[in-house]
Amino acid sequence: MKQVQVQVPATSANCGPGFDCLGLALELYNVFTFVPDELATEYSYTFTGLGADLLEQEDPNNNLIGHAMDQVFAKAQEPIQYGHITSDTNIPPSRGLGSSSTAIVGGLLLANSLITNPLSKEELLIIANRMEGHPDNVCPAIYGNLCCAYGTKDKILNTVIPIPEELYFAVVVPEVLVSTEYARSVLPQHVPFKEAVHNVGFASLFVSSLITGQLDNLSVALDDNLHVPYRKTLIPHCDDVFSAAKGAGAYGATISGSGSTLIAYATKDKVEVVAKAMGDTFTNNNVENKIYVLKADSEGAKVV
């Protein structure tokens, strides 16, 4: 039996005002390879790339890739195929760039591909959403582009919207770990009605401006009242980095997913300067960081 290899894009969830429902895919990929072994009675793993040392220490029985593969075999009523999985990570783990979603979506795609793709993308999304808990990372990981997704555990409604060619992303990953669980625990139980109303405006403006190409609107449409004000306290110098991004010519900046990555939206001619200004702001405040200049991914996860 031959090996199967898939790549899954990084994702930036929330996109400012779209808490738990908006997410976009980026051209930065984790690659997962499966080599079937008919004699194996469990999955075995090799980890390379970013965070490999930490992944190696985790219990393989809890690995999301294997769990996701099991879900596909069960849903398709096919026998489980065990073998060796290689996970090569280029996406910084636990930084708000959807690294755990790539493991889930990677496992789903590997298994589906091994049994000649009986499950549709819609069915894979339902499984992924159930495993992840919210659809804003897994949906763009599967479909690429900007996704708006709303779902329950049995049903997901989603749209896929292409990102304008001229829009680029300055992504700055500080050496600050913020777990999604903790970043959700700092959110309030209630927000004032007026602030919620503003968010409806920001989110509607965000999506519609990407559709119409009115990118100047992003200077307002990336604002948020639901999570950014609470989570930015977990990321040192967050406001300074946002200001640096805008000062260098970005439309705006926000927290990627639950952080700690910060992401600025800018045109191609400005994005390098924006990324440098953001990185320098962290560096000048003694926060180590890594910067990326990325385009949106338009294909989503695929067999390579």
293 close to 275: Cβ distance less than 8 angstroms: yes
Query: What gap in Å lies between CA 221 and CA 20, rounded to an integer?
Result: 16
Binding pattern for the stretch 72-111 against ligand HSE, x by CB under 6 A and - elsewhere: ------------------------x---------------
85 close to 45: Cβ distance less than 8 angstroms: yes
Q: Which is nearer to ligand HSE, 136 or 297 (CB)?
A: 136
Query: What gap in Å lies between CA 280 and CA 296, rounded to an integer?
Result: 24
Q: Which is nearer to ligand HSE, 119 or 207 (CB)?
A: 207
Site for ligand HSE in 196-235 (CB under 6 A): 227
Query: Scanning the structure block, which residue is given the tokens 């065990």?
Result: 82
Spatial neighbors of 152 by CB under 8 A, at least 6 apart, are: none
Choice from 6, 13, 109, 207 touching ligand HSE (CB under 6 A)? 13
147 three-class SS = strand
Query: What gap in Å lies between CA 231 and CA 190, rounded to an integer?
Result: 15
Number of residues that bind ligand HSE (CB under 6 A): 14
Does 20 help bind ligand HSE (rule: CB under 6 A)?
yes
Q: Which is nearer to ligand HSE, 19 or 169 (CB)?
A: 19
Choice from 104, 108, 128, 136 touching ligand HSE (CB under 6 A)? 136
Tell me which stretch binds ligand HSE (CB under 6 A): 165-173, 179-187, 193-201, 218-226.
179-187
Q: Nearest distance from residue 91's CB to ligand HSE, in Å?
A: 12
The beta strand positions in 97-247, using DSSP E, are 146-151, 156-161, 167-174
Which residue number has the CB closest to ligand HSE?
Answer: 257
Tell me which stretch binds ligand HSE (CB under 6 A): 44-52, 133-141, 262-270, 277-285.
133-141
Element (H, E) at 13: strand 4-13
Tell me which stretch binds ligand HSE (CB under 6 A): 167-175, 180-188, 281-289, 292-300.
180-188
Query: What gap in Å lies between CA 141 and CA 146, rounded to an integer?
Result: 10
Does 112 help bind ligand HSE (rule: CB under 6 A)?
no
Choice from 33, 258, 261, 281 touching ligand HSE (CB under 6 A)? 258
Using CB atoms within 10 Å of the CB of residue 304, give its burial: 0 to 12 exposed, 13 to 18 middle, 19+ buried: exposed
203 close to 224: Cβ distance less than 8 angstroms: no
Tell me which stretch binds ligand HSE (CB under 6 A): 129-137, 234-242, 278-286, 292-300.
129-137
Phi, psi (degrees; rounded to nearest 5) at 226:
-95, -35
Q: Which is nearer to ligand HSE, 97 or 114 (CB)?
A: 97
- b/e burial code for range 85-123 (CB count within 10 A of at least 16 → b): bbbbbbbbbbbbbbbbbbbbbbbbbbbbbbeeeebebee
Does 129 help bind ligand HSE (rule: CB under 6 A)?
no
Q: Which is nearer to ligand HSE, 95 or 270 (CB)?
A: 95
Contacting residues toward ligand HSE, per CB under 6 A: 13-14, 19-20, 96, 134, 136-137, 180, 183-184, 227, 257-258
